[in-house]
């Protein structure tokens, strides 16, 4: 019976087991597959993962903070995205080998509304500003977002369920500590900015922890509530217990908002697809994650 798990430290509050178990149930795989949570301290990560991989009952694991860089380092093989981003959130154990992927990148693109940036027709009518994105932050989540948006790739299915393409975006990167923005932008295909024209972006992605504990996002981020407008997409990648003040302000001004829970669901769905080869129900995963 293949086992799956999320590995983190701490991992007690993770919603992944509830979300993935809901997906497995919907796929009628719940009798065969299980998904749990394993708390592993940084010092023993490598040895314990090697043991899991060698034991044979685990098909793979999700990896979360603080182990994503270590997960890439111990893999025998890694996807292009994991290598570029420098971190892996998905390990697959196959034929005695460990394969690393980063589904955070694909999760970002699949969280966006289908057709964003003009979709596959991006070079046409949509125009340049439709493909301008601002990423706030320079940590691990920012790295995945910058790389994904600068590359483009498969997006959410359209209303008929057909695959869509997110075109590559011109990505501006702002960070509180500007030198970090310069470094990640240079590595991942963005451009560091110190005073971004927030109203001009089709997409604003917040990857900072600002707002998670009820702070005023406009006191720390280079944004004003008046920058938001209809037609703009505002995505708060970090999942928090409350609806964020940033998204509430964006919604008030008519922008389309995406919460961090969607990112959790989409990266998890891509991981489950890698392990099982099946296409999980996004709706079942959203419900499972919300309930937990
Ligand atoms: P992760 O890997 O989870 O994305 P991280 O590396 O801890 O997280 O990065 C957190 C991000 O939030 C950083 O971009 C951080 O900015 P600094 O690089 O200047 O530290 C940003 N951040 C945290 N608190 C902030 C605040 N009060 N104002 C602005 N940015 C903040």
Indicate the CATH number for domain 107-254.
3.40.50.720
Q: Does the 3-101+262-291 domain belong in CATH 3.40.50.10860? A: yes
State the closest ligand 1 atom to the C-alpha of 208, by its place in the atom list counted from 1: 12
pLDDT in tens, the chain (292 residues): 799 999 999 999 999 999 999 999 999 999 999 999 999 999 999 999 999 999 999 999 999 999 999 999 999 999 999 999 999 999 999 999 999 999 999 999 999 999 999 865 554 444 558 899 999 999 999 999 999 999 999 999 999 989 899 999 999 999 999 999 999 999 999 999 999 999 999 999 999 999 878 789 999 999 999 999 999 999 999 888 777 899 999 999 999 999 999 999 999 999 999 999 999 999 999 999 998 7
> How much distance in Å is there from the Cα of 249 to the middle of ligand 1?
21
Residue of the nearest CA to atom 16 in ligand 1? 176
**Six-digit token string for 217:** 């996002």
Q: What are the residue ranges of helices labelled H in the chain?
A: 16-26, 45-55, 68-74, 80-85, 103-111, 140-151, 178-188, 217-220, 245-252, 260-276, 282-291
Which residues of the chain form CATH 3.40.50.720?
Answer: 107-254
Alpha-carbon distance 84 to 73, whole Å? 13
Instruction: Judge contact between 272 and 248, C-beta under 8 A.
Output: no
Task: Write out the catalytic residue numbers.
Answer: 68
33 three-state secondary structure: coil
pLDDT of 128: 53
pLDDT of 264: 97
CB of 207 within 6 A of ligand 1: the answer is yes
Cβ atoms < 10 Å from Cβ of 265: 27
pLDDT of 202: 96
> How much distance in Å is there from the Cα of 218 to the middle of ligand 1?
15
State the closest ligand 1 atom to the C-alpha of 215, by its place in the atom list counted from 1: 27
Instruction: Judge contact between 123 and 168, C-beta under 8 A.
Output: no
pLDDT of 214: 79
CB of 177 within 6 A of ligand 1: the answer is yes
pLDDT of 121: 58
State the closest ligand 1 atom to the C-alpha of 143, by its place in the atom list counted from 1: 4
Instruction: Judge contact between 171 and 146, C-beta under 8 A.
Output: yes
pTM score, two decimals? 0.95
> How much distance in Å is there from the Cα of 49 to the middle of ligand 1?
28
Q: Which of 207, 211, 118 is nearest to 169 (CA)?
A: 118
> How much distance in Å is there from the Cα of 1 to the middle of ligand 1?
40
Q: Cα-flanking dihedrals φ and ψ of residue 219, to 5°? A: -80, -25
Residue of the nearest CA to atom 5 in ligand 1? 139
> How much distance in Å is there from the Cα of 111 to the middle of ligand 1?
21
pLDDT of 241: 75
Which residues of the chain form CATH 3.40.50.10860?
Answer: 3-101+262-291
Residue of the nearest CA to atom 6 in ligand 1? 139
**Six-digit token string for 169:** 């975006």
Residue of the nearest CA to atom 12 in ligand 1? 208
């Amino acid at each position: 019976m293949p086992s799956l798990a999320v590995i983190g430290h701490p991992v007690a509050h993770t919603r992944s087991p509830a979300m993935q178990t809901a997906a497995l149930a919907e796929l009628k795989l719940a009798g065969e597959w299980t998904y749990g949570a394993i708390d592993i301290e940084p010092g023993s990560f490598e040895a314990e993962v090697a043991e899991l991989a060698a034991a044979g009952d685990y098909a793979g694991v999700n990896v979360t903070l603080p182990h994503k860089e270590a997960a890439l380092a111990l893999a025998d093989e890694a996807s292009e995205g994991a290598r570029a981003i420098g971190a892996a959130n998905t390990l697959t154990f196959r034929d005695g080998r460990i394969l690393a992927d980063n589904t955070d990148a694909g999760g970002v693109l699949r969280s966006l509304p289908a057709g964003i940036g003009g979709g596959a027709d991006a070079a046409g009518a949509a125009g340049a500003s439709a493909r301008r994105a601002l990423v706030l932050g320079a940590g691990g989540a920012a790295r995945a977002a910058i790389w994904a948006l600068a590359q483009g790739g498969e997006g959410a299915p359209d209303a008929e369920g057909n695959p869509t393409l997110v075109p590559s975006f011109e990505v501006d990167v702002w960070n509180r500590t500007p030198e970090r923005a310069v470094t990640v932008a240079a590595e991942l295909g963005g451009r560091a900015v110190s005073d971004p024209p927030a109203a001009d972006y089709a997409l604003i992605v917040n990857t900072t922890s600002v707002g998670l504990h009820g702070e005023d996002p406009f006191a720390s981020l280079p944004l004003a509530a008046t920058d938001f407008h209809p037609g703009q997409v505002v995505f708060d990648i970090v999942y928090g217990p409350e609806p964020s003040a940033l998204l509430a302000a964006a919604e008030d001004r008519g922008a389309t908002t995406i919460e961090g829970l969607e990112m959790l669901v989409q990266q998890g769905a891509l991981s489950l697809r890698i392990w099982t080869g099946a296409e999980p129900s996004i709706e079942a995963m959203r419900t499972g994650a919300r309930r937990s």
